[in-house]
A and B are shown apart, each in its own frame.
Chain A
C-alpha cells in the first residue's frame, strides 16, 4: 500500500531552472505498476474476459476493509484480474488522492464523499459519468436509496455508487435527565425549547455541542435551514442559483441560533468544548441532548455501554411548526461512494463490479455485521434480528423515507469556501456576527 510515488511535474521546475539537476538525480519513475498499460480492454465488463490489475482505494478501517476484500474476491476470484485493495488512513486520504489522481498510480475505483470532495476531479474529466449505466439498467439504479444516490450527483449527473454506511444526523437524548425534570423527549420545536428552559433552570447543560472544533455547529445550521426554508435553500447556495445566502431562511436560522444561545441552550462554556468531549458530556449526565451523526451510537457503545442500555434515546431533528421544510428531510453524510476513474483501462469491469456487488445481499449482510447501514433499498428484512435492530431500523427508515438527504454543507460547497463558512458559523454562536454579517461573510468567501 505504500508504492513509491513520483509526480512528473518536472517540466514546471525545469522551466524555472530551479535545481533541476538535483531533482533529476533523485527522481525515479515507478515502473512496478505497469499493469494498467498492459490490461486488456473489455467492453462487456466480464472479469473473466479481462486481465490486468485493478486498484481499489478505500479508507483504512479495520472493520470494513475485510468486507471490501471479500467482495472483490467474490467478483474477481478465478479471473485474470488482480484486484488490489489499497487502504489509506482517513486523515491523509484526501491529500493522497489529490496527489495521485492524475498520475500513473491512479486508482481504478476510489472511495469518496461525493459532492465537493470530487467535484474538481469531475470537472477535470477524471471521473467516469455513471449516468448512462444507471439509466439503461433500472434494476441497478433502483437497488439503492434514491435520495442517497441523488445526493451524490454533480452537475446533474451520477458519479458515485453508494458503497457503505449512511450517516444521517439525529438527536440523542439522556433519558435519565429527562426523567429528572419530568419531561418527555421532544418531537416538536416547542417541546425542544421547553426542555432547553427546564434543563437550564436546573443548571444542567441542555445541549452538548463541541463548538471548539467548529464543524459540529454546522449540523444546527443544516437542520434549522432545512426545517425553516426547505431543501431548496441550500441547493441554491451550493449551485450559486436563486438568492443564495441571502435567502430569508438563512436569516431566520441565524436568529434562531442566537436565541438558543441566549437561552443557555448550549451551556456557558460550549465554545471551549472539543467535539471529542461532547459525547461524554451526554453519557456522563452533564448534558441532556446532542445533535450528532449516526456514528455517535458506536462511540457511546464503546465508551459508555451502560448508558446505551439504560438511558440513551434518539429521534429525528424536531419539526418546526411554522417551517416550510419537510420534517422528514435528513441532513448528514448520505453515504460514501465508489467512483470509477475515467482513464481506467478496466473501466467496464470496474462498473460491472459495482453493479453486481454493491447491493448484493452478501455484501449488505457483511456491512450490517460490522455496524454499517448501507444505502441499499429494501433491506429491512436483513436488519431484523440484528443485535442493534432498534437503532439500525430507525436510522435506515429515517434515511429511506427522507424526501431529501442533504450532504453536509462543508462537503457540498467548494472547498475554499468551507473554512470561512465554518468560522462564520462559530462567530454566530459566539455572538460576534448577526444574520447580515453571516450572509456577508459567506458571500465574500464565495466571490
Chain B
C-alpha cells in the first residue's frame, strides 16, 4: 500500500514478505553455495551445512560438457525470435491501429482469440508441419512456433501503445508527404520504444526458456538449448550435486546480468506484458 496511507508498520504484510524471503532466498542461496563446492565436500557437510571447500572447478566441468554450445544455440533462438517478432508485429500493430478496413479489425479479433491457444496442446500438428517443411532438427523449428505463440500478446502490447500516439501526428506527417513506411520507421517505432522493450523482454524470455519446442523438434545434441541441456545434466551429473547446481546457476547467469545492469528496464518490460 502506498506509503502515504500510514506511518504505522504493516506487520501482516511484513511478516508475509519475510516468509516469502525465506522461501525464495534459501533455495537460491543453497544453489549458489552448493555449486561452489566439490562433490566430496558437499557429501561431508551435508545439505544444510556450509561446506569447507570452495571451488570454481564445476564451471570448467559444466563448460567441458558442451554448455557453451547450448548458450550459443539459446542465444540464436532468442535473438532470432525477437527480431522476427518485431518485423511481423510492429507493422501489423500499426495497420491495426491506423487502418479502417475490416481486414485489420478481423485480424485483431483473431489475435485476441489466439491468446487462449496453449502451445503445448498443438505440438503434434506442429511436429507434422515442421517435419513437412523440412525444418526438423533446426533452430528455426524452435523460433517459428515461439514467435507464433507470442504474437497475440505482442500485437496487443504494441497496438495498445500505438493507440496512444496522437492522431494529429500521423496526419501531420502524412500531409508532409511521408509514406506509411517512413511514418512507421521515423515516428511510430521511436514513440513506442517502451512497448517495444516490453516485447523484447517477453519474447526474449519466452524463447530463452523454451522447453517443449526444442524437446520435440531438436535431436542433434550440438543444437540443444540450455533448458534441454539441463535435463541432460540432471542424468549425467546424477549425485554430483555441486556440478548440477553450477549448471543450473550458469543457465540463469545471462538473465541475471541483465537484471543487475538493466533491472528497471527488465522489470518495466515484464510489467508491461501484463498491462498496467
Contacts and interface: CB of A to CB of B under 8 A. Distances in A.
Interface stretch (A5-13, A171-179, A193-201, A415-423): A5-13
B136 interface: yes
Interface string B101-120: 00000000000000000000
Contacts of A88: 219
Contacts of A7: 131-132, 134, 136
Interface of A: 2, 4-7, 9-10, 13, 19, 23, 26-28, 30, 60, 88-89, 91-92, 95-96, 99, 274, 276-277, 280, 303
Nearest to B136: A5
A89 B235 contact: no
27 contacts: A4-B134, A5-B134, A5-B137, A6-B131, A6-B133, A7-B131, A7-B132, A7-B136, A9-B128, A9-B131, A10-B132, A13-B129, A19-B129, A23-B132, A26-B133, A26-B134, A26-B135, A28-B134, A60-B221, A88-B219, A89-B220, A91-B219, A96-B219, A99-B136, A276-B235, A276-B238, A280-B238
B165 interface: no
B239 interface: yes
Contacts of B221: 60, 89
A160 B269 CA distance: 57
Given A4-B134, A27-B132, 10 more contacts: A5-B136, A6-B133, A7-B136, A28-B134, A89-B219, A89-B220, A92-B220, A99-B131, A99-B136, A274-B238
B46 to A, nearest CB: 13
Interface residues of B, number: 15
A87 B137 CA distance: 15
Nearest to A274: B238
Contacts of B220: 2, 89, 92
A276 B239 contact: yes
Main secondary structure on B side of the interface with A: loop
A195 B133 CA distance: 59
Given A276-B235, A277-B238, A92 B219 contact: yes
Nearest to A299: B238
Closest 7 CB pairs between A and B? A92-B219, A276-B238, A6-B134, A7-B131, A280-B239, A26-B133, A89-B221
Nearest to A1: B220
A10 B219 CA distance: 23
Contacts of B129: 13, 19, 23
Contacts of B132: 6-7, 9-10, 13, 23, 27
Nearest to A88: B219
A356 B193 CA distance: 69
